[in-house]
Structure 1
Amino acid sequence: MAPTRYLRSSASRDVNPDLDIERKTPSFDVEKLTTILDGGAENTRVRRAVEAVIHSDPVFSREDKYFLSQNESYEAAVKKAVHLKKMMHQMKWSWAGSECKYCNRALGGEVAFTLHNIFMESILALSTDEQTAKWIPLAENYRILGSYAQTELGHGTYIRGFETTATFNISTQEFVLNTPKISAMKWWPGDLGRSATHTVVFAQLYIKGKCYGVHPFIVQIRSLHDHSPAPGVTVGDIGPKMDFNHIDNGYLLLQDVRVPRENMLSRFCELHAFSSGLKAIVTEHSTAGVETCRKACGGHGYSLLSGLPSLYTRLAASCTYEGENTVLLLQTARFLVKCLGAARSGQPVPPSVAYLSAVNSERCLVRDKRDLLQPDVYVEAYRHVAIRVLSSAAAKLQALVQSGAEQHEAWHQCTVQLVHAAKAHCHYHVVKSFAEAVEKLGQEAGIQRIMKHLCGLFALHGIFSNTGDFLHDGYISGDQVDMMTASYLDLLAIVRKDAVPLVDAFDFTDETLNSALGSYDGHVYRRLYQWARKSPSNTKQANQVYENYLKPLFQNGLSKL
């Protein structure tokens, strides 16, 4: 029996009859799945309360989003950010609390100063207690506004290649920061172009002519009195992007900019190897998924009003920012190769790679297509592939080194196989973690049943899409691939029956999705037409093209007739 709230939300609105039918007979309790996804009923309650506050405030309306210019988008985002700050103070919500996260979700991320939080988080992670005590109160009270200047015009993920310099002046106890060439200018940091007063700058540290590698420095880039650039600072906006026009991504050049010694952040923490690889495959899957959805909507998916083009460009960007995916996968691969060597020599390895110490199975023992629906069967298949692909890449790497190749050159020659190995490792962990999470849902039989089907569908889809990996060494036979395909198709039909309730369980509001196609009531054609009529292009005042060009053209044609 579906929960009261779920039935009421459908019955109390004018819902497309086709969607209404989909929602009437879910095989599981949608509301309970929502609380599981939120991490508990209390989180769901808080999230909905935050969303209600946000969506009831006209300042946070996203109704005109698709018709704004870059400058208008930026101004709207700043207006929302300032208003949100006041609201959070009134509601006594903390920037580090769950309410802040739910605010960002409700606003679809379309609010300025998002890098300000990263500025504070980087200070908390990289600074001493004294530095934290100085900077965090200033940032929390918005007496300063921060950004995070890492990426350079000529250097994205390759941090060791950064060219910005910070030279320590022993006599004055200051660091002198410089941008020695155009490729060294900071490029892309959000909130930097027009908003930030301070930023964390990553630069190569030089003391007495010796380079000590990349270090972070807090640098004031604008006056706190009139917001003009600080002495020696050239800063501005990099211009329009594929999306994110509400964010003032900026550039930064430094010429003999002096910062006191205490502005160098003195405590360090780069990045867990598994997190690097997981970020890569999650963003790739998400980008591919939204593109599939866009094409499934036909021509309407190409309209900005569908929300899908914006969602696609944001997800596509996530494959690059905060670490380009191929580079991140190679970081994971480096960690895996090291751990494989340790496992083979009998040394202890981290729990995330403990499976490398086990003996790899030779054959999949499945005899019936129903066997393929057992989590231990497909998890083992993914484990087998992860070990095989990594072992193959490591063997090639070792062979190249033994043949006389330099370590870095051998690594470069193996990057294709190493990326493949990192992906296989991450896919194994995702499937394994999914299956383990489903197993913990034992007290919710209906939810566990549909989630087990969904987990199996995800796992078998991965095998179906990468059959060669599983056939390569005979682990899976051709007959077993046929059985796997049959099970995969069976699951598609089963999950299809609950597709709408599964999506509903994420509990995204219409205001957050801001999509003419993705609304709860399903009246897509009505909404597309209503939204299109709101376009500034459809007002007489906006149509000066007729007066300036079309009217003279038509009159000239008539005079000749």
Structure 2
Amino acid sequence: GDNVDRGVHNFLVQIRSMEDHSLMPGIITGDIGPKLGYNNMDNGFARFNNVIIPRRNMAMRFTTVDETGKYTKKHMSAAASKIAYVTMMQVRALIIEGVGKLLGMACTISIRYSAVRLQGFDEKSKDGKLGKTEVQILDYKQQQHRLLPLLASSYCFYFVGKKSMDDLNHMEKCIIQGTGNISKTRVSDIHASLSALKSVTTAIASDGVEDCRKACGGHGFLQCSGLPELAGFTVHTATVEGDNHMLPQQVMKVLLKLVDAIHNDNEEAISEWMQSDSKYLVEPLQKSINGETETFGLVHEKEALDVKNILRAYQHRSARLLFEAA
């Protein structure tokens, strides 16, 4: 009523007649057409030209418009706003888990193909001559280097997606029941983690499925291999639910808040960060900001293979890169 742009809101709109299922006046719908992949999903469009709907068709749980046209925004509890946030993050967790499955499918096809495809002869025969039996291409280190890391990645993506979804479901339950202390910082931290994971996993999976296809040579170019369809199906994940070039900016925005909290010695904010998954960044950042040097020594070279030491090195690297970027 007061000519102010209130942003995006949800409305229920009847698009077809209840009598003959024809489109209502002023409404045009259609399919957007064939896509590079994901064609089992129908993506359509709708155009509305001077379509009038009842006022009560507006979703008015948090915002209302009365008979006079007065717009009122209700107070949204912190829990309600967090629930909306969690729902968005659950979709990203599903995508991360999904690309793990897709990459796993591609790896299964290409590795099995590599186990039965023979090419080249074994030069290490007893009489110094070429062997009579051709070699499985999976025995070539180049093929192993190409496919096996992708197989490992597929497991990683699948399990991190499942773990993220479990954490989000637990968080959602705590918010609804009012149990547990789910701070805004913790929600932001999980959002940053999932934004980063979505960007990284979908990029690796998209490139990985395509490389699996190439690793099968000419057979990988055939539709009957299943790989071209998988490649087209996977590549859309780089765009859906957040473009992969935009999401890292959201991650950095959240992490810079941590640096700011440590720089300003904000004890309350630091305490909240210590309850998040990014707590490993706090101590290294404090030392870097105070000009201190963090080191840790390895007594034996075997200690360099210890998962805990590898993880600690990566954590230090993350903190250092964040400090330099800030």
TM-score (norm 2): 0.52
Report the CA distance between 1:363 and its aligned residue: 4.2
CA distance in 1, matches of 2:307, 2:57: 52
Aligned twin of 1:226: 20
Aligned twin of 1:372: 304
Indicate which of 214, 226, 246 corresponds to 1:295: 214
Report the CA distance between 1:245 and its aligned residue: 2.2
- Are the structure 2 counterparts of residues 301 and 354 from structure 1 closer, same or farther at C-alpha, using a change threshold of 3 Å? same
Is structure 2 residue 198 aligned with structure 1 residue 279? yes
RMSD: 2.3
- Are the structure 2 counterparts of residues 289 and 366 from structure 1 closer, same or farther at C-alpha, using a change threshold of 3 Å? farther
CA distance in 2, matches of 1:336, 1:224: 52
Indicate which of 11, 34, 37 corresponds to 1:243: 37
Per-residue CA deviations over 1:97-154 (Å, capped at 9, x if unaligned) read xxxxxxxxxxxxxxxxxxxxxxxxxxxxxxxxxxxxxxxxxxxxxxxxxxxxxxxxxx
Per-residue CA deviations over 1:16-36 (Å, capped at 9, x if unaligned) read xxxxxxxxxxxxxxxxxxxxx
Report the CA distance between 1:367 and its aligned residue: 5.8
Indicate which of 255, 268, 292 corresponds to 1:336: 255
Aligned twin of 1:355: 280
Secondary structure in 1 matching 2:278: helix
Q: Which amino acid aligns with 1:386?
A: S
Per-residue CA deviations over 1:499-558 (Å, capped at 9, x if unaligned) read xxxxxxxxxxxxxxxxxxxxxxxxxxxxxxxxxxxxxxxxxxxxxxxxxxxxxxxxxxxx
Report the CA distance between 1:247 and its aligned residue: 2.3
Report the CA distance between 1:236 and its aligned residue: 0.6
The 5 Å alignment of 1:167-186 reads none
Q: Which amino acid aligns with 2:222?
A: S
CA distance in 1, matches of 2:46, 2:52: 15
CA distance in 1, matches of 2:213, 2:299: 38
Report the CA distance between 1:318 and its aligned residue: 0.6
Structure 2 contact 210–231 (Cα < 8 Å) conserved: yes
Report the CA distance between 1:225 and its aligned residue: 3.6
Report the CA distance between 1:373 and its aligned residue: 2.1
Q: Which amino acid aligns with 1:359?
A: P
Per-residue CA deviations over 1:324-360 (Å, capped at 9, x if unaligned) read 1222222222111122212332333341222232125
CA distance in 2, matches of 1:307, 1:208: 57
Per-residue CA deviations over 1:429-451 (Å, capped at 9, x if unaligned) read xxxxxxxxxxxxxxxxxxxxxxx
CA distance in 1, matches of 2:33, 2:217: 31
Secondary structure in 1 matching 2:248: helix
- Are the structure 2 counterparts of residues 230 and 274 from structure 1 closer, same or farther at C-alpha, using a change threshold of 3 Å? farther
Per-residue CA deviations over 1:243-301 (Å, capped at 9, x if unaligned) read 22232211222222233333333355254332222211121121122122112211111
Report the CA distance between 1:323 and its aligned residue: 1.6
Secondary structure in 2 matching 1:234: strand
Structure 2 contact 284–319 (Cα < 8 Å) conserved: no
Structure 1 residue runs without a partner (length 5+): 1-206, 395-561
Report the CA distance between 1:391 and its aligned residue: 2.0
Aligned twin of 1:518: none
For these two proteins, the number of residue pairs brought into alignment is 188
Structure 2 residue runs without a partner (length 5+): 63-80, 89-190, 286-292
Report the CA distance between 1:364 and its aligned residue: 5.6
Secondary structure in 1 matching 2:53: strand
- Are the structure 2 counterparts of residues 228 and 356 from structure 1 closer, same or farther at C-alpha, using a change threshold of 3 Å? same
CA distance in 1, matches of 2:280, 2:322: 12
